[in-house]
Amino acid sequence: MNIAQDDVFGGLTGPALPVEEFAFGQGITISRTFAHLMAPFLMAFSPAEPGKAHPAPLRAAKGGFGFDIVMQLHIPADFQDDEWFDRLNTIWWFTALLRFVASPSILAAAVADRPFHDGSSASDIEIIPIEVESRRLLISRQDAPELTVDHLEWVKKVWHPAGKLMRESPAFNTLFQASDQALFARTPSLALLSLWGALEALFSPARAELRFRVSLNISAFLEKPGATRLALQKKIAKLYDARSAAAHGSANTQPDELIETFVLVKRVLAEILDRNEVPSRDELEKLLFCVEDGSV
């Protein structure tokens, strides 16, 4: 498989696709399919010779894992953009956007060099497992029971401009990846530290008074001046205390603190994606100190 030049098909798990096929633009599509990726555990009892498989007998062990692939993303061979993700990361990008807007259960379990339904007849199909981490944190209360056309339309709207933001803004890139990869963190504390580290990078270039500065800037970015902004600032400051506890080795990170932080990060990301703009330091200062007409 030449991922840099050939057609690439990403096999996705998750809710069923609401339509037979949906076009995102520039030749990229998502369509219904079915394949089951499985990894049973086998045990050998003799060492393998160099370059050879372990000799028989092989015995099945209990356990293993498997994934039902119900959708496939198609990145055509003629999709080339030097200022874009490579083709494998394009699969990740669409999958991550679908996770963000619809369901964290969506995984890019594998990529292949041809449609997955061809695998039943084509012995030379090449399949590479990708996202097969079976342990994921349950940190979202909003797992969609189904994937809707509205979800697909949202991805169609944002995938290209938001991809450029990922390239142009390291802080936004870090925050989006932290949000996406928090689902795969081994512990709630690691997920919390990752999310807050990314928020700090975006909302507090200076390192002094992080708790106050970060909570103030985020609340100013999300809410207009008034009681609602003040209440949000106080709530964010309390969530930052949970981040500090995790950073100093406390085992008292509560699930609600992680979930609320995750919801906050998603709200920030949604605002950035809606504006198609990452807030600058000057903009945040204006939000803090200026009224709507721009005066101080």
Q: What is the DSSP string of 154-195?
A: HHHHHHHHHHHHHHH-HHHHHHHHHHHHGGG-SSHHHHHHHH
Query: What confidence score (pLDDT) does residue 115 get?
Result: 94
Tell me which residue has tokens 């992680």. 258
Round to whole Å and give the CA distance between 148 and 84: 27
Pick from 2, 39, 20: nearest CA to 117: 20
Return all residues near 138 (Cβ < 8 A) that are at least 6 apart: none
Give the residue-averaged pLDDT of 98-127: 90
CA 253 vs CA 41, 192, 258: distances in Å: 34, 9, 8
- Structure-token pair, residue 104: 């964290």
pLDDT tens by residue, 285-294: 788 776 555 5
Residue 215 or residue 293, greater confidence: 215
Round to whole Å and give the CA distance between 230 and 171: 25
Return all residues near 87 (Cβ < 8 A) that are at least 6 apart: 3, 4, 8, 75, 79
Tell whether the model's pLDDT for residue 8 goes beyond 90: yes
Looking at the DSSP assignment, which residues form a beta bridge with residue 36? 68
Give the residue-averaged pLDDT of 52-70: 90
Contact 189, 253 (CB under 8 A): yes
Pick from 153, 174, 173, 163: nearest CA to 81: 163
Pick from 141, 127, 103: nearest CA to 258: 141
Tell me which residue has tokens 């530290």. 193
Please report which confidence band the pLDDT of residue 68 belongs to, taking 50, 70 and 90 as the band edges: very high
- Structure-token pair, residue 167: 């390239």
Amino acid at 149: V
Residue 215 or residue 22, greater confidence: 22
CA 73 vs CA 30, 142, 263, 281: distances in Å: 4, 24, 27, 37
Tell whether the model's pLDDT for residue 82 goes beyond 80: no
Pick from 117, 138, 113, 140: nearest CA to 127: 113
Round to whole Å and give the CA distance between 259 and 192: 9
Tell whether the model's pLDDT for residue 252 goes beyond 60: no
Query: What confidence score (pLDDT) does residue 296 get?
Result: 42
